[in-house]
């Protein structure tokens, strides 16, 4: 895992501690020369602020918009982008190919956080 990806994981832990809702976008399938590989992640908070990259900069804004919806609906979705080489070159963007991105809500209620904490305590005592 790259430092950039570890940054995303730390950001999740931070939002989790504050119980702030967010969404996680993960590249789950790539064909062609899209910039980031499977496993690349971007975290999006309710305001659309992002940490991490899932492409060379061409999909982040769009994914962030969808992620804001995912936070509201609390339902994960899979978003597929087909980026045609010629079209992409015409726009001056550098990531042609097909990318599948899984966007899931990460929402911690007081209840499930307590459950996790309790569990951690029990493991600690073990």
Partner 1 sequence: MNVQKKLAPFDAWLDAIDQQQAAVLMTITEASLSQKNYRICYLENQSPIGSFHDQALELDALSIAKEKLRQSNPQSESLMIQDENELDVDIFFDVFVPSPTLMVFGAGHDAIPVVKYAAECGMKTVVIDQRSLYNNEERFPHAERIIARPEDFTACIRVTNRTYIVVMNHHIEKDKQTLKFALSSLAPYIGVLGPKSRRIKILDQLYLEGCHFTYTDLQRMHSPIGLDIGAVSSEEIAISIVAEVIAVRTRHKGGFLQGAEFIHQSS
Residues that bind partner 1 (CB under 8 A): 1, 3, 6, 9, 12-13, 16, 26, 28-29, 37-39, 75-78, 100, 102, 104, 106, 112, 115-116, 118-119, 122-123, 126
Min. distance of Cβ 1 from partner 1 in angstroms?
Answer: 6
| Residue 80 or 90 having the CB closest to partner 1 | 80
| Residue 14 or 87 having the CB closest to partner 1 | 14
DSSP secondary structure string, 53-117?
-SSSSSSHHHHHHHHHHHHHH---EEEEEEE-HHHHHHHT-S--EEEEEEEEEE---HHHHHHHH
Min. distance of Cβ 74 from partner 1 in angstroms?
Answer: 12
| Residue 29 or 91 having the CB closest to partner 1 | 29
| Residue 47 or 115 having the CB closest to partner 1 | 115
CB count within 10 Å of CB 81 equals 17
CA distance 99 to 89: 17
Longest dimension (CA), the chain: 61
């Amino acid at each position: 895992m790259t430092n950039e990806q570890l940054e995303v994981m730390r950001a999740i832990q931070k939002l989790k501690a504050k119980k702030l809702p967010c969404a996680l976008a993960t590249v789950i399938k790539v064909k062609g020369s899209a910039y980031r590989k499977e496993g690349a992640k971007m975290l999006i908070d309710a305001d659309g602020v992002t940490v991490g990259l899932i492409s060379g900069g061409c999909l982040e804004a769009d994914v962030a918009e969808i992620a804001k919806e995912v936070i509201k609906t609390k339902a994960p979705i899979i978003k597929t982008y087909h980026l045609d080489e010629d079209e992409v070159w015409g726009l001056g963007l550098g990531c042609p190919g097909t990318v599948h991105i899984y966007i899931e809500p990460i929402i911690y209620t007081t209840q499930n956080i307590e459950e996790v904490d309790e569990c951690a305590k029990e493991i600690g005592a073990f």
